[in-house]
Amino acid sequence: MTEVGRRAPRLEDPRLLTGRGLFVDDVDRPGQLHLRVVRATSAHARIARVDVADAAALPGVTAVFTAADLEPVPTIPVRISPQRERLVPYLQPVLAAEVVRYVGEPVAVVVADDPYVAEDGAELVVVDYDELPAVMDVRQADDGGIALFPERPNEVTQLVARWGDADAAFAAAACVVETEVTVARQTAVPIETRGLVAEWTGPAALEIWGATKVPHFNRAVLATMLGVEPEDIRMHRSDAGGGFGVRGELYPEDVLVPMLARRLGRPVKWVEDRAEHLVAANHSRAQQHAVRGAFDAEGRLLALTDEVWHDNGAYIRTHGLTVPELTASMLPGPYRIGAFSAVVHVVVTNKTPCGTYRAPGRYEGTFARERLLDAAADTLGIDPLELRRRNLLRPDELPHERGLEALGTTVVLDEADYPGLLDAALEASGYRTWQAEADRAVAGGRLVGAGVAVFLEKSGLGPYERAAVSLSRTGRVEVATGGTSLGQGIETVMGQIAADALGVALDDVDVVAGDTGVLSDGLGSWASRSSVVGGSAVHLAAGDVAQAVRRAAGELLEAAPGDIVLAGGRAAVVGSPAHSRSLAEVAAAVAAPPPGTALGDVDLSSNRRFDIAHMTYPYGVHLALVEVDAETGLVTVLRYFVAYEVGRAINPTNVEGQIVGGAVQGIGGALLEELAYSDEGQPLSASLMDYQLPFASEAPEVGTLVSERVPATSNPLGARGAGEGGLTACAAAVASAVGAAIGSPGLPCVVPLSPERVLALLRARTSAE
């Protein structure tokens, strides 16, 4: 059997299971110092004075730095975004100089020879603040005359996406449905917090551990800031305890650590604690939507409009306007829509800055759109599944150009069978029996309901990815990918692809991900791109090496390269399996060519770039069965199912793992997770006691249908990225089920559906009767 498509046990597991992973806090450099950040305790204030004397005098403290010591103070640049120039005034300085704009903002750093002492020192830094009013309400951010940035509006910009004449469609519509939905502020919470270790081994030689996601990009930015060449910086590979979009972007600490390592002439190590992480790492999701649909009498969606208020937090960071852009461009989902208009107000507030978190813009937009469809189905008296069927684009309507931009490319929905997968999902899950189960429960006085949400995802973002593959002297296949390890199994997936090209077993392949010293160019792992784009690059490079192996083996076996078959770790003449060499023998012969053979110019390595212009769009369905406790408002997810078209599942077990893990994460967002703030901007969810995450007691068993019925034509693997779809429609599906359970399908419109909110819905439902 081939490696691609096999449920291969992961290459990563032996080291991770035995505690032999290399996470950033596992890295120690001789002579290292430890860095601790002093963070703002006020949400909005002028810094009157920073007194570091006591901290600097503490035995064991090497130095204390404030913005005044860094002149000029670098700002964190935008990595990817439309409207870059407009964002410049809102970028974050790595240390606050005159103003702090969110609780948790770095104000000073203490460097000591021990992390406990560094924390002692940080507690001795005294900051005097002149408090300013905090801007907390995203809809009224410019009403109070408090500007976060001098002479700049708190509404940074509006992002607009539209086609057709929505106004005309609304005027002519048989039925107009409107609803307002809110997704609370949430964050990814990887179990490992952030960290970085930096060591200068020469005036222009910097080693870094702890980088992931986009190491090559971050390396280039740091090189510019530090006045060296990118090649002077090596980001080492390391294991990462989860990414989910939050880990690996360039943060203020990622600049401070190497800067101060150079200034102090010692390696510097920084690892944040969880309390810091919850106020310092990117938040996400916080959006309010006013969504409207114009329907004809048969429930066809003539026009969809959405006005969105996007709470960005205090600074624009590396993602710029990415999340608002994705919210707008992916809002239409897989549906046929005559006219469309989305306006996203991007607003700064005195809260932690926001970035991407798994399925960014799509978790929120899917929630808004699918709530609208449930409300419309209820209003029109049409079955919610039937309403969706009538509006899903059919296969013969694809590919379909949306006329919208996202991530530097245009949205072109590729080949798909949205209605077919909906039917397959209903069949495979037994959804009709869920509904029957709900009916029986309701008849018995319980509040049980089944819900559905259809989603469109995006993946395989270009413009390219790079891979290097080579055959070692001992016959091992060595693969380097420009993607990075986040825990997703990238080494295994890349390994399976290379193994097939060269006819070896997965265990004969070694994969290095995200090491800039091994591969000098890459675009990283994010946006579910690595299997598609990174995998295709590995496929090309491994194919080159296979060709070279056939050429060399042909020389040795006196056969034409086209007559050489690679299988079982050997190169054999087709039809004559005894007439063969092992790959190790071939490699040894290339290294020291036997007399009479022309192997001198054979290269058993290749470095290839795979270019891709458009994304590929995975899609699917979430189904949920929930019970609502009428006394407490507690929602229990009884059953959950995700159907996902991924084109080609390179490792089906991996794909299922991504779906199930994503679903539990997304159910957390639907029922539990909320980063709350006081009116003065004090974070109220600053520990894992307050920010509730799903444990196994909250995790339903998630059924999956991994569909490979419509391979993508954009890449040689036929793959669509599978990393995010497990999450995308969770808020929508859970809310749909809760609405069914309480007998008011359109009512649940805010996530998380906490017990308090659900009790309020029950009261609202009762008073409406």
Partner 1 sequence: MNPTTTVSMTVNGTEATVHVEPRHTLADVLRHDLGLTGTHVGCEHGICGACTVLVDGSAVRSCLMFAVQAEGRSVETVESLGTPDDLSPLQEACRTEHALQCGFCTPGFLMMLTAFLAERDAPTDEEIREVVASNLCRCTGYQGLLRAVRRVADERGAAGRRQPAQA
Residue ranges binding partner 1 (CB under 8 A): 9-10, 12-21, 23, 25-26, 28, 59-60, 116-117, 188-193, 239-242, 244, 273-275, 486-489, 653-654, 656-657, 660-665, 687-689, 693, 695-697, 699, 701-702
Q: Is the dihedral of CA 736, 742, 746, 747 positive or negative?
A: negative
Residue 103 Cβ vs partner 1, minimum distance, rounded to whole Å: 18
Residue 728 Cβ vs partner 1, minimum distance, rounded to whole Å: 15
DSSP sequence for 729-742: THHHHHHHHHHHHH
Using the minimum distance from each CB to partner 1, give the nearer residue, 178 or 701.
701
Using the minimum distance from each CB to partner 1, give the nearer residue, 184 or 667.
667
Burial 22-47 (b: 16+ CB within 10 A, else e): bbbbebebeebbbbbbbbbebbbbeb
Q: Is-contact 117 58, C-beta < 8 A? A: yes
Residue 455 Cβ vs partner 1, minimum distance, rounded to whole Å: 18
Residue 527 Cβ vs partner 1, minimum distance, rounded to whole Å: 18
Residue 19 Cβ vs partner 1, minimum distance, rounded to whole Å: 2
Using the minimum distance from each CB to partner 1, give the nearer residue, 441 or 699.
699
Using the minimum distance from each CB to partner 1, give the nearer residue, 228 or 660.
660
Cα–Cα distance, 730 to 452 (Å, whole number):
9
Residue 640 Cβ vs partner 1, minimum distance, rounded to whole Å: 10
What contacts 26, CB < 8 A, 6 or more positions away? none
Residue 659 Cβ vs partner 1, minimum distance, rounded to whole Å: 9
Residue 26 Cβ vs partner 1, minimum distance, rounded to whole Å: 4
Using the minimum distance from each CB to partner 1, give the nearer residue, 24 or 454.
24
Place of tokens 């049980």: 448
How many helices (H) and strands (E) the chain has is answered by: 20, 29
CA angle 203, 206, 207 (to 5 degrees): 150
Residue 16 Cβ vs partner 1, minimum distance, rounded to whole Å: 3
Pure H helices in 125-246: 166-172, 215-226
Using the minimum distance from each CB to partner 1, give the nearer residue, 100 or 117.
117
> Which H or E element spans position 390?
helix 384-391
Using the minimum distance from each CB to partner 1, give the nearer residue, 460 or 669.
669
SS3 at position 522: coil
Burial of 48 (0-12, 13-18, 19+ CB in 10 A): exposed
Cα–Cα distance, 614 to 237 (Å, whole number):
29
- Amino acid at residue number 325: E
Residue 247 Cβ vs partner 1, minimum distance, rounded to whole Å: 10
Round to the nearest angstrom and report the end-to-end CA distance of the chain: 61
Best CA proximity match to 225, nearest among 405, 73, 19, 38: 73
Using the minimum distance from each CB to partner 1, give the nearer residue, 278 or 456.
278
Residue 488 Cβ vs partner 1, minimum distance, rounded to whole Å: 6
Cα–Cα distance, 767 to 755 (Å, whole number):
18
Residue 363 Cβ vs partner 1, minimum distance, rounded to whole Å: 16
Using the minimum distance from each CB to partner 1, give the nearer residue, 726 or 739.
726
In angstroms and rounded to an integer, the radius of gyration of the C-alpha atoms of the chain is 27
Using the minimum distance from each CB to partner 1, give the nearer residue, 26 or 415.
26
Beta carbons within 10 angstroms of residue 107's beta carbon: 23
Using the minimum distance from each CB to partner 1, give the nearer residue, 369 or 639.
639
Q: Give rounded-to-5 percent helix, strand, coil for the chain.
A: 30, 25, 40
- Amino acid at residue number 461: L
Using the minimum distance from each CB to partner 1, give the nearer residue, 224 or 687.
687
Using the minimum distance from each CB to partner 1, give the nearer residue, 378 or 457.
457
Residue 244 Cβ vs partner 1, minimum distance, rounded to whole Å: 7
Residue 111 Cβ vs partner 1, minimum distance, rounded to whole Å: 16
Using the minimum distance from each CB to partner 1, give the nearer residue, 462 or 662.
662
Residue 212 Cβ vs partner 1, minimum distance, rounded to whole Å: 11
According to DSSP, the residues that pair with 466 across neighbouring strands are 609
What contacts 659, CB < 8 A, 6 or more positions away? 642, 644, 702, 704, 706, 722, 725, 726
Residue 290 Cβ vs partner 1, minimum distance, rounded to whole Å: 32
CA separation, residue 245 to residues 370, 525, 564 (Å): 24, 9, 44
Best CA proximity match to 46, nearest among 146, 171, 152, 189: 146
Using the minimum distance from each CB to partner 1, give the nearer residue, 367 or 640.
640
Torsion of CA 347, 352, 356, 362, to 10 degrees: -60
DSSP sequence for 252-283: HHHHHHHHHHHHHTS-EEEE--HHHHHHHS-B
Using the minimum distance from each CB to partner 1, give the nearer residue, 147 or 699.
699
Give me 166's structure tokens.
């929505």
What contacts 222, CB < 8 A, 6 or more positions away? 206, 233, 250, 254, 255, 258
Beta carbons within 10 angstroms of residue 298's beta carbon: 12
